[in-house]
């Protein structure tokens, strides 16, 4: 992770593996590029396509929705860690409840989350 605050394609593909989302690489790349072009980050910065953290979450939900044949289901990992009634979490909550507790990345810092 380059800690830029943006997520590039290689980081997105790594994330899919890390959270056990199984999708063909070609499809994941296509969806990523569609999301990046939808938000015009590649055109604005004239660089490699990137998406924000929130756009990444939106894309993950879309993938999950499609994998479940269109059934509306909240992200089970998010729900199990933060609660089904939550839509957003703080940096501290993400660090402590997800990275440190769930992922067992005890050496993770606030800077890693940013």
CA-to-CA distance for 83 and 17, rounded, in angstroms? 23
pTM given for the model: 0.54
CA–CA dist 29, 25 (Å, integer): 6
Per-residue pLDDT tens digits of the chain, which is 114 residues long = 567 778 999 999 999 888 878 788 888 899 899 888 876 554 455 567 889 888 899 999 888 877 765 544 445 677 778 887 888 889 999 999 988 998 888 888 988 888
The pLDDT, as a whole number, for residue 71 is: 41
Nearest-angstrom CA–CA distance, 104 and 94: 12
Q: How far apart are alpha carbons 101 and 74 in whole angstroms?
A: 21
CA distance 114 to 108: 11
What own/partner pairs with CB < 8 Å and gap ≥ 24 does 71-77 have? 77/19, 77/102
Query: How confident is the model at residue 9, as a pLDDT?
Result: 92
Give CA–CA dist 48/45, Å, rounded: 8
3-state secondary structure of 114: coil
Token pair in block for residue 80: 């199990």
């Amino acid at each position: 992770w380059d800690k830029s605050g943006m997520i590039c394609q290689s980081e997105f593909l790594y994330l899919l593996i890390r959270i056990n989302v199984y999708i063909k690489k070609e499809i994941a790349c296509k969806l990523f590029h569609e999301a990046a072009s939808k938000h015009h980050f590649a055109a604005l910065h004239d660089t490699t396509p990137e998406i924000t953290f929130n756009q990444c979450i939106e894309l993950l939900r879309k993938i999950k929705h499609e994998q479940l044949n269109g059934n509306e289901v909240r992200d089970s990992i998010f729900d199990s860690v933060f609660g089904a009634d939550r839509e957003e979490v703080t940096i501290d909550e993400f660090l402590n409840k997800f990275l440190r507790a769930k992922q067992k990345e005890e050496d993770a810092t606030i800077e890693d989350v940013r």
